[in-house]
Amino acid sequence: MSILILAEQHDGELAAGTAHVVAAARAIGGDIDVLVAGEGVDAVAQAAAGLDGVSRVRVADDAVYAHQLAEPLAELLVALADDYTHVLAASSTTGKNVLPRLAALRDVAQISDILEVVGADTFKRPIYAGNAIATVRSSDPLKVITVRTTAFDAVADGGSAAIEPVSAEVSNPSSRFVGEELAQSDRPELGSAKIVISGGRGMGSGDNFKLLDGIADKLGAAIGASRAAVDAGFVPNDMQVGQTGKIVAPELYIAVGISGAIQHLAGMKDSKVIVAINKDEDAPIFQVADYGLVGDLFEILPALEQKL
Amino acid sequence: MKVLVAVKRVIDYNVKIRVKPDHSDVDLTNVKMAMNPFCEIAVEEAVRLKEQGVASEIVAVTVGPKAAQEQLRTALALGADRAIHVETEARVESLAVAKLLKAVVDEEQPDLVILGKQAIDTDNNQTGQMLAALTGMPQGTFASKVDVKEGSVDVTREIDGGLQTVALTLPAVVTTDLRLNEPRYAKLPDIMKAKKKPLESKTPEALGVSVESGLELLGVETPAERKGGVKVGSVDELVEKLKTEAKVL
Ligand SMILES: Cc1cc2nc3c(=O)[nH]c(=O)nc-3n(C[C@H](O)[C@H](O)[C@H](O)COP(=O)(O)OP(=O)(O)OC[C@H]3O[C@@H](n4cnc5c(N)ncnc54)[C@H](O)[C@@H]3O)c2cc1C
Ligand SMILES: Nc1ncnc2c1ncn2[C@@H]1O[C@H](COP(=O)(O)O)[C@@H](O)[C@H]1O
């Protein structure tokens, strides 16, 4: 078996998710290569070469890959896929954008968001917002897979894989990067933070999210949100946790003013410890919370910040 | 400009699902079904483009059993002009849906195809990307804004770090995210009118597409239930328990 992993990048650095995808690849077994595609990606390639279990890092450094657009990345992967039995990526917005395109171009299925490797061709994945787990087997010659990073422990650093350039002629006449608005934050990434504190519609306004800041500062936590809080414009879309947002599984998840709809639970119910703060004692969030505190968040949050 | 919208019949998002006792699949007997929420957003976007005079015709398409015609009628009530039903009782995986949609695209030659980003039953998030690949179209996935220009479309996408805007040459594929719009409800007179709008049925065989898949569903299980814990009486007690009992602080 030979596996190619599409590296995940963030601000010119290797994103944390890739080390988790390598762990999934090790569970499959075989040689593991990482593809780093982008413009000016030396640092990313170096970091990928250090991941335990990686045999080779293949680097495609070209302006055409600069913004991780799906069309050129899929074309590049198609050109490389002959050498592999599996192509993996994190189940991030990049992985989800690119891998189905590769799969279709190779006329194979794509397996989304795997949670467990049962065998080299058999995987478990969540369906219906994680309310059921499906076991699927692929008989396709190439397995194209996105990986739920929170389901696999990251591999350590300590490897020293070879770094090799790849040459492929890829052009992209049909899509063009126009611009981006990226959230600026000194806090840890939602997907990899040890503690996450999320606010819901109960926060009442974007301004009130400041009540979470002091607590997040003290705990080194990332801040998340429910869909209702994002839809209401309290906070940006990249903070949404849930079935159709980000999946998190921190040591501690604190849900504040969030009712606990199944779509929200889908994104956080694998957290180790869940705390819920809600004024409605019948809110469904309490059914999954290890510690529930019934009361008004506007009184509880300042008190909590003080106690930490 | 012609817009093709793909809609899927799925379990209603409020329903709590059950796994069949033999673990072969999820039990859908007597379960409330509805249009996939992301497809509602796709239909709404097409209707708004028509209201703005950008789109001239909206064609809704679904792949699924006879009953999926209900969702096509809903799309017609919301403002689609006509509908195409690719009828099959088989379990159709995303790749096969994409191939069927490609066959429809070849016949209809739309300028824009709008799909949901994700079906809330399989949670695949693949079909739009696959259709784009098969038709050679560029893709704007997870769209929170769609701005059609002369011969191109600007799509603002919800990505992990924030928002990204891309310009795509037409024809193109767009998949919808939650913030793209807020879908309207169908009004009773429109539901009546929709019954008279054209709905054409086709089969995968007639479209020359095999719905076979390299993926086999071996079984479905219920995940381990999380048990509710305790209620604490005060912030002090909470912090104390997080420190000494849960040991996460
Ligand atoms: C297709 C689809 C996809 C979706 N994807 C997601 C997703 O990814 N993530 C997600 O989160 N949701 C998602 N949803 C939405 C989901 O169904 C719920 O609507 C949403 O999670 C509700 O958010 P909420 O809990 O913040 O708001 P509400 O349900 O309105 O709950 C607000 C809570 O705040 C409490 N509250 C109010 N004031 C106070 C106060 N002063 N002090 C303490 N508590 C207070 C209330 O008691 C209530 O429980 C999706 C829905 C659909 C249809
Ligand atoms: N059977 C189907 N019929 C019509 N459209 C579909 C079907 N399955 C998926 N789609 C479209 O593809 C989107 C994404 O679905 P998926 O890739 O399965 O998560 C849906 O929101 C629909 O727009």
| Rounded Cα–Cα distance for residues A186 and A184 (Å) | 7
Q: Pick from A105, A109, A244: which is nearest to B93 by CB?
A: A109
Full-model pTM: 0.98
pLDDT exceeds cutoff 90 at B225: no
Closest ligand 1 atom to A240 CA: 9
Write the DSSP symbol of residue B26: B
pLDDT exceeds cutoff 90 at A185: no
- CA of B33, closest CA in chain A: separation in Å? 13
- CA of B176, closest CA in chain A: separation in Å? 11
C-beta of B36 in contact with ligand 2 (< 6 A): yes
B249: confidence class by pLDDT, cuts 50, 70, 90? very high
Please check whether residue A212 is in contact with residue A223, taking contact to mean a CB–CB distance below 8 angstroms. yes
CA torsion A235→A236→A240→A245, rounded to 10°? 160
Minimal-distance CA residue of chain B relative to A8: B160
Q: Pick from A110, A173, A236: which is nearest to B126 by CB?
A: A110
CB contact under 8 A, A195 and B218: no
The confidence score (pLDDT) of residue A80 equals 97
A97 touches chain B (CB under 8 A): yes
pLDDT exceeds cutoff 90 at A184: no
Q: Pick from A98, A102, A135: which is nearest to B219 by CB?
A: A135
The confidence score (pLDDT) of residue A167 equals 86
The ligand that comes nearest to the alpha carbon of residue B176 is 2
CB contact under 8 A, B162 and A183: yes
B4: confidence class by pLDDT, cuts 50, 70, 90? very high
Q: Pick from A133, A176, A246: which is nearest to B220 by CB?
A: A133
Please state the rounded mean pLDDT for residues A261-273.
97
The confidence score (pLDDT) of residue B51 equals 98
CB contact under 8 A, A293 and B158: no
pLDDT tens across A229-243, in order? 999 999 999 999 999
A280 touches chain B (CB under 8 A): no
- Give the three-class secondary structure for B132: helix
- Token pair, residue A91, equals 């189940």
The confidence score (pLDDT) of residue A264 equals 98
C-beta of B127 in contact with ligand 2 (< 6 A): yes
Cβ contacts of A287 on chain B, cutoff 8 Å: 226, 228
Which of B35, B58, B97 maximizes ligand 2 atoms within 8 Å of its Cβ, making it the mutation to test the pocket?
A: B97
pLDDT exceeds cutoff 90 at A19: yes
pLDDT exceeds cutoff 90 at A2: yes
Residue of B15, B129, B160 to mutate, interface with A, max A Cβ within 10 Å:
B160
Predicted ipTM > 0.85: yes
- CA of A54, closest CA in chain B: separation in Å? 25
C-beta of B6 in contact with ligand 2 (< 6 A): yes
CB contact under 8 A, B223 and A138: no
pLDDT exceeds cutoff 90 at A71: yes
Around A113, how many Cα atoms within 13 Å sit in the side-chain half-sphere? Answer: 25
A282 touches chain B (CB under 8 A): no
Q: From edge to edge, which strands make up the β-sheet containing A143-147?
A: A110-114, A143-147, A86-90, A2-6, A31-38, A56-61, A162-165
pLDDT tens across A127-169, in order? 999 999 999 999 999 999 999 999 999 999 999 999 999 988 9
pLDDT tens across B43-71, in order? 999 999 999 999 999 999 999 999 999 99
A210 touches chain B (CB under 8 A): no
pLDDT tens across B74-129, in order? 999 999 999 999 999 999 999 999 999 999 999 999 999 999 999 999 999 999 99
pLDDT exceeds cutoff 90 at B228: no
pLDDT tens across B167-203, in order? 999 999 999 999 999 999 999 999 999 999 999 999 9
Please state the rounded mean pLDDT for residues B7-31.
96
- CA proximity to A223, closest of A233, A304, B33, A211: A211
pLDDT exceeds cutoff 90 at A170: yes
